[in-house]
Amino acid sequence: MAESTITAKGQTTVPASIRQHIHGTAGTRLVWHALADGRLLVRVKNKSVADVAGMLTPAAEKHVAIDEMRP
């Protein structure tokens, strides 16, 4: 388990083992979530919408009318 300390300015250093694991470099963005049970979740925000554009391809070229979508 890696650990770090929060400074008087509210800053902390991400431990080297964690940076290596997430391939973190200067400018890597982290998203912090405080969970209701007191845990903290930190996610790496390493992709933008432009990075994932085009990753999914349509399954078929079949067009469905809106009336057909309604139960």
Dump pLDDT digits (tens) for 4-27. Answer: 999 999 999 999 999 999 999 999
Query: Which is nearest to 30 in space by CA: 50, 55, 59, 4?
Result: 4
Burial (CB < 10 A; 0-12, 13-18, 19+), residue 70, is exposed
Whole-number percent of the chain with pLDDT over 90: 58
Q: What is the structure's pLDDT at 15?
A: 96
Tokens, residue 1: 């388990």
pLDDT in tens, 25-36: 999 999 999 999
The answer on pLDDT for 37 being more than 90 is yes
Residue ranges and CATH numbers for the domains of the chain are: 1-51 (2.10.260.10)
Tell which wins on pLDDT, 14 or 65. 14
Calculated CA dihedral for residues 10, 16, 17, 19, nearest 10 degrees: 70
